[in-house]
Structure 1
Amino acid sequence: MLRSMSKSKPAIQATSSPRQAAYTTLQRLVNSDLHADDLIDQELSHNQLQGPDRGLFAELAFGVLRRQGSLDHYLKQLVQQPLERLELPVLLLLRLGLYQLRYLDRVPSHAAVHATVELTNVILPRAKGLINGVLRSYLRQQESLTLPDPAQQPVAWLAAAYSLPGWLAEQWLQQFPQSEAAGLAAASTEIPPLTLRVNSLRTTRNALLERLQAAEFIAEPCRFAPEGIQILQRCQITSLPGFTEGLFMVQDEASQLVAHLLAPQAGQQILDMCAAPGGKATHLAQLMNDQGCVTATDLNARRIRRICESAERLGLTSIQAVAGDALGNDYLEGMQFDRILLDAPCSGLGVIRRNPEAKWRLTPAEISRCAARQRLLIDAAAARLKPGGVLVYATCSTAVEEDEAVIKDFLSRNPEFVVENGAQFFPEWADLFDNSGYLRAWPHRHGTDGFFAARLKRIDR
């Protein structure tokens, strides 16, 4: 098994086997820019997986991605050759089998080994002996497998124990004490809840909660977001009561807070610069009572259609969705806005519990490239803001380079802007704001995605 892990096309199509479907999904993700949740939804849409198999498939695919670093750490102690020299199918099959043995209590060990070997017989028959041998070795040796010493090798320990790339483990240890970095890493491996934002122009949170509970969905109000509801079980979004009626939008709680921080007023001219898929744009229109204008722009025309579709389903008419390059010379030429939201494209480190494949694709160089683009975007936003106006800069990143450093650089070059402490506007959210007045939501502290937001005011001189 000495072939390199080169990109390969999936050999398996939609199947009634949850393990085979998980293998196919993981294979398609290698060296791809596709998202795991999109591929999982594609597989489920074939309707060849039924009942509990649908849940097992999603658990296996997402679970292997969430725990990949830990799985590989243990595999290195079980496989006699370097993992990078294994054929890609062999490595994926080993991860699938080991994930079931180590993390799925409801799958008996003998069944997990047998099912993985049988799948190997379909995928790569000559690897059956290796797969069977490694998984049975794990069962014999699991108590003797070790992690790095957290005192002597804190980065290696955090990476192996909580499934992180080494560079991210090092970054979080620079931001937090070891115990809190571990808490953040642990929270980032958990399955996040499905969070809804109630369309307050058509219903109330209590009314929608009652409908959800009457339909036997386990639901509860969010801690911070006043329109937020968490669904505490797996479900299809389109099957939820009120979807076709436009009573809610799927949106994480931390993301919901950003529109409130901008605090748009009815009748104002608002710009959402990087608006797709439309969660924040529709929230802004909702907070304005659908009075005024929200100009929602994005580079991709296809994603612009998603904004329009969401606005139509929610019954919103104040959104004007426009395809455009925010860094282009003719971007919204001559237009000025009362308030601007820049939810800047970023590394997505704050949402790796939702997109676990991202942590294995990202590099420090990619974060630096994101930060360079973010500095250009915030300059473009500032050029479109009226004197006295408010600009909110936000990312779903945990990286200081993409967040505080971008704001510090911007303020050093634009003395007419000042930071407004969000805690002064939202004292009930005091726990969410740091000493600089920036909003910082964390999975391990607040149960939300990781999010950063700064509210900046342009002084009217």
Structure 2
Amino acid sequence: MRLHRNLVFAVIDGLHQIFNEEKYADKVVQKLLKRDKRWGSRDRGFVAETTYEIVRWKRLYTEIAEVKAPFSRENLWRLFAVWATLRGIALPDWKQIEPTPQRRIKGKFDELQRTRKFRESIPDWLDALGEKELGTLWTEEIAALNEQAPVILRVNTLQSDLKKVKGLLFDEDILTEAIPGLPNALQLKERANVFSTEAFKNGYFEVQDASSQMVAGYLDVQPGQRVVDTCAGAGGKSLHLAALMENKGQIIAMDIYENKLKELKRRAKRAGAHNMETRPIHSNKDIKKLYNKADRVLIDAPCSGLGVLRRNPDAKWKMTPEFLIEVKKVQQDILQNYSKMVKDEGNLVYATCSILPSENQEQVKTFLKSEAGSEFTLIKDKKILCSKTGQDGFYMALLKRKTK
């Protein structure tokens, strides 16, 4: 592989923003890809994938390069040199690249492979927590979460069907395959920019991981019902609910962030989802208005996001033990409060994209022992581990409200 100066400079600039200015990797990469209109898909692929790779392996690479935060430009170039050396890429004779001791880099890499926290490039506290909560499973799970995630699409049945979308993408040289057990899911055989396709612009599909696609179905919605998605965000699951309800009934998509709901409105328009209303949560009054009014309630709770580290590798550097303590309190508060929206005999799904039992099964157990939770019965739950399925780590629990 021949390295191109403008592409490598873009990667270095991106790393500076992510590591030193604490910006989110996905937002930084999105912006970088618009830097030069002359870049082709291969150029953009190099910038995105190299940036994400160095973010993912930050701890391992900084140990090998013997650099510490905050990172100077020279430090960032050293990290890049480690990345290139470990991939067998010849380094060009540029003034930014110091003489690189290739044998020492490879030797240090081999030595660090013996220790999990370096091998899997994670903070000490996270390694200890993973082992405490998952035991021996942690070793294979964190390894799986360091692999690149596949691109999965959910066909929007309000506008199209699987066969048609598969054919339209094939016409644009994008090959896909169906996923057993998920009737409206397609996995890309090779990474491609699906957002520029006509099928995407026409609202025929959304990008949504296989695990995430299971959540809406778990709620068992029916056309004509009133369904509340309480932590809707930009609405991937709300849009899926609209399709499952065949645009009949009402979906109330709620969130504390209004900007995310604006994005959902835009997406709903493209998807042809007409049975949706967005409501920002300004105070508890907005929740109380819906007490005992919903047939179905989805709580896709805020969480550590450990199950989706493949997609957001910078999360492991931004997360703190204090954040985790706080988010667990928020999860329980939401469960206690939002569950009151469910009518008698109605369903509630509590879901997270975490693999930690303390955010998942333990939260449900705590809820069921509480006054609000005593009105519910746990019907079933499902935990999805990336190491076992190749899908994002997820948890979902279906609870039914008893008749008074």
TM-score scaled by length of structure 2: 0.92
Deviation of the 1:183 alpha carbon:
2.3
Q: 1:50 aligns with which of 39, 63, 72?
A: 39
1:323–1:141: structure 2 CA closer, same or farther, 3 Å change rule? closer
Q: 1:330-349 maps to which residues of 2 (within 5 A)?
A: 330-331=286-287, 333-335=289-291, 336-349=293-306
Is the CA contact (8 Å cut-off) linking 2:11 and 2:50 kept in structure 1? Answer: yes
TM-score scaled by length of structure 1: 0.81
Q: Which residue of 2 aligns with 1:132?
A: 98
Q: Which residue of 2 aligns with 1:204?
A: 161
Q: 2:386 aligns with which of 427, 430, 443?
A: 443
Deviation of the 1:272 alpha carbon:
0.2
Q: Which residue of 2 aligns with 1:62?
A: 52
Q: Which residue of 1 aligns with 2:280?
A: 323
Q: 1:35-46 maps to which residues of 2 (within 5 A)?
A: 35-46=24-35
One-letter amino acid of the counterpart of residue 172, structure 1? G
- For 1:16 and 1:96, how far apart are their aligned partners in 2? 12
Q: Which residue of 2 aligns with 1:299?
A: 256
Deviation of the 1:61 alpha carbon:
0.5
Is the CA contact (8 Å cut-off) linking 1:159 and 1:169 kept in structure 2? Answer: yes
Q: What is the aligned length? A: 397
**Amino-acid identity (%):** 28
Please list every run of 5 or more consecutive structure 1 residues that lacks an aligned counterpart in the other structure.
Answer: 1-14, 121-130, 151-156, 422-437
Q: Which residue of 2 aligns with 1:89?
A: 73
Q: Which structure has the higher relative contact order (CA within 8 Å, separation 6+)?
A: 2
CA RMSD of aligned residues (A): 2.2
Deviation of the 1:22 alpha carbon:
0.8
Is the CA contact (8 Å cut-off) linking 1:389 and 1:457 kept in structure 2? Answer: yes
Q: 1:234-253 maps to which residues of 2 (within 5 A)?
A: 234-253=191-210
Deviations for 1:352-374, whole angstroms, at most 9, x for unmatched residues? 11111110111122111111111
Deviation of the 1:146 alpha carbon:
4.6
Q: 1:372 aligns with which of 329, 337, 340?
A: 329
1:222–1:32: structure 2 CA closer, same or farther, 3 Å change rule? farther
Deviations for 1:361-401, whole angstroms, at most 9, x for unmatched residues? 11122111111111111112111111111100011112222
SS at 2:289 equivalent: coil
Deviation of the 1:200 alpha carbon:
1.2
Q: 1:30 aligns with which of 19, 36, 45?
A: 19
Q: Which residue of 2 aligns with 1:127?
A: none
- For 2:275 and 2:208, how far apart are their aligned partners in 1? 20
One-letter amino acid of the counterpart of residue 331, structure 1? I
1:378–1:196: structure 2 CA closer, same or farther, 3 Å change rule? same
Q: Which residue of 2 aligns with 1:381?
A: 338
1:86–1:45: structure 2 CA closer, same or farther, 3 Å change rule? closer
Is the CA contact (8 Å cut-off) linking 1:215 and 1:241 kept in structure 2? Answer: no
- For 1:384 and 1:171, how far apart are their aligned partners in 2? 34
Deviations for 1:273-308, whole angstroms, at most 9, x for unmatched residues? 010211100111110111000000111222111111
SS at 2:33 equivalent: helix
SS at 2:284 equivalent: coil
Q: 2:128 aligns with which of 160, 167, 170?
A: 170
Deviations for 1:179-209, whole angstroms, at most 9, x for unmatched residues? x433222221211111111011222212211
Q: Do structure 1's residue 158 and structure 2's residue 148 form an aligned pair?
A: no
- For 2:228 and 2:69, how far apart are their aligned partners in 1? 50
Is the CA contact (8 Å cut-off) linking 1:17 and 1:53 kept in structure 2? Answer: no
Deviations for 1:52-89, whole angstroms, at most 9, x for unmatched residues? 322221122001011112212323xxx4xxx3377532
Q: Do structure 1's residue 402 and structure 2's residue 391 form an aligned pair?
A: no
Deviation of the 1:173 alpha carbon:
2.3
One-letter amino acid of the counterpart of residue 240, structure 1? T
Q: Do structure 1's residue 308 and structure 2's residue 265 form an aligned pair?
A: yes
1:299–1:16: structure 2 CA closer, same or farther, 3 Å change rule? farther
Deviation of the 1:213 alpha carbon:
2.1
- For 1:141 and 1:343, how far apart are their aligned partners in 2? 43
Deviation of the 1:233 alpha carbon:
2.3
Q: Which residue of 2 aligns with 1:418?
A: 377
SS at 2:199 equivalent: coil
